[in-house]
């Protein structure tokens, strides 16, 4: 079902998936409406039945609403959204993201000044703390070390310059659409968790770079369900084991990409 019309292909398609999170989605769409002037179209997927607390046609940009007959995984929903509308850039955004400013222009500037094919903003907590969305690839040893240390330190120090992490967490990602298509999108075998690790790994194995752009910023009102709900924790552990047993993980090891890399991005 489509709401609104467009005269040209949008520059950016933003894909948002709601699990009865209509109020959060409303706040995010209001932020986009308030702060962003780029040619944007939003694809909103309702993964569970819900009534929206807003009219999709009430924003300055078009909003296409997809209602699933049955729930799909994170990757399957965003892959389907990607196939609906062509664009230069494809953004994956969680409903619990808020914008104090529009991040897209700064992210596109980051693309133009680096050799990155996938970029993400600096993610802040509501209290203004830097979240660890830029990370080194997980290994069993690193996971064990974090569990033992019980620490949530940043894998990469953040300064003024873009850095190139191993991977970026999936709460807010901006892809060049051609690259998203080139790597065949998300691996839909990951229902929830680690699909962001996997796609970043495949981007890196394709010889492309990933950038964290610290001048672009978003706020993340994190729910962290896997820390409180055994069902989400089981999904998390299952996805982690799937990744460690995957050919992608072993290709990373063979390519020497599990040891971390220089953090500062170079100009092309």
For 152-170, write each residue's pLDDT tens digit: 788 999 999 999 999 999 9
The answer to whether residue 21 is domain-embedded is: yes
At 18-35, the pLDDT tens digits run 999 999 999 999 999 999
Mean pLDDT over residues 97-116, rounded? 94
Residue 261: predicted pLDDT: 54
The residues, any chain, with a CB within 8 Å of residue 195's CB and separated by 6 or more, are 73, 74, 75, 170, 186, 187, 239
Q: Which of 110, 35, 34, 24 is nearest to 44 (CA)?
A: 24
The answer to whether residue 132 is domain-embedded is: yes
The answer to whether residue 127 is domain-embedded is: yes
The answer to whether residue 261 is domain-embedded is: no
Mean pLDDT over residues 252-268, rounded? 71
Q: Is the dihedral of CA 179, 182, 183, 187 positive or negative?
A: positive
- What are the contacts of 254-257 at 24+ separation with CB within 8 A? 255/205, 257/137, 257/166, 257/201, 257/204, 257/205
Looking at the DSSP bridge assignments, the partners of residue 14 are 42, 91
pLDDT at 52 over 50: yes
pLDDT-based confidence at residue 5 (cuts at 50, 70, 90): very low
Residue 232: predicted pLDDT: 82
The answer to whether residue 264 is domain-embedded is: no
pLDDT at 150 over 80: no
Going by the DSSP 8-state scheme, the letter that residue 202 receives in this structure is H
Residue-range definition of the domain harbouring residue 97: 2-254
pTM recorded for the entire structure? 0.91
pLDDT at 1 over 50: no
Residue 2: predicted pLDDT: 37
pLDDT-based confidence at residue 237 (cuts at 50, 70, 90): very high
pLDDT at 83 over 80: yes
The answer to whether residue 259 is domain-embedded is: no
The answer to whether residue 143 is domain-embedded is: yes
Count of domains observed in the chain: 1
Radius of gyration of the chain (CA): 18
The answer to whether residue 262 is domain-embedded is: no
Contact 196, 104 (CB under 8 A): no
pLDDT at 230 over 90: no
CATH number at residue 244: 3.90.550.10
Q: Using CA atoms in the order 202, 263, 11, 40, what is the torsion angle rounded to 10 degrees?
A: 100
Residue 7: predicted pLDDT: 40
Top pLDDT among 259 and 225 is at 259
| Helix or strand holding residue 199 (H, E) | helix 195-205
Mean pLDDT over residues 52-73, rounded? 96
pLDDT-based confidence at residue 228 (cuts at 50, 70, 90): low
Q: What is the mean pLDDT of the chain?
A: 90
């Amino acid at each position: 079902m489509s709401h609104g019309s467009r005269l040209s292909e949008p520059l950016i398609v933003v894909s948002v998936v709601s699990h009865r999170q209509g109020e959060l989605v409303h706040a995010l769409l209001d932020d986009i409406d308030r702060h962003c002037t780029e040619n944007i179209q939003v694809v909103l997927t309702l993964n569970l039945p819900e009534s929206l607390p807003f009219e999709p046609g009430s924003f300055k940009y078009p909003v296409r609403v997809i209602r699933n007959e049955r729930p799909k995984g994170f990757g399957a929903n965003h892959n389907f959204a990607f196939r609906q509308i062509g664009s230069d850039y494809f953004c994956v955004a969680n409903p619990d993201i808020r914008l104090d400013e529009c991040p897209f222009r700064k992210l596109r500037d980051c693309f133009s000044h680096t050799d990155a094919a996938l970029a993400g903003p600096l993610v802040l907590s509501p209290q203004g703390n830097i979240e660890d969305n830029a990370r080194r690839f997980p290994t069993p040893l690193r996971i064990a070390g974090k569990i033992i240390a019980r620490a949530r330190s940043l894998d990469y120090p953040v300064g003024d310059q873009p850095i190139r992490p191993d991977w970026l967490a999936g709460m807010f990602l901006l892809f060049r659409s051609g690259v998203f298509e080139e790597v065949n999108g998300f691996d839909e075998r990951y229902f929830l968790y680690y699909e962001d690790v996997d796609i970043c790994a495949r981007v890196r194995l394709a010889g492309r770079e990933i950038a964290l752009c610290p001048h672009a910023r978003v706020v993340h009102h994190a729910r962290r369900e896997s820390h409180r709900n055994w069902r989400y924790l089981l999904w998390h552990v299952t996805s982690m084991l799937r990744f460690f047993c995957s050919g992608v993980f072993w290709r990373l090891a063979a390519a020497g990409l599990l040891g971390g890399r220089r953090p500062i991005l170079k100009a092309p």
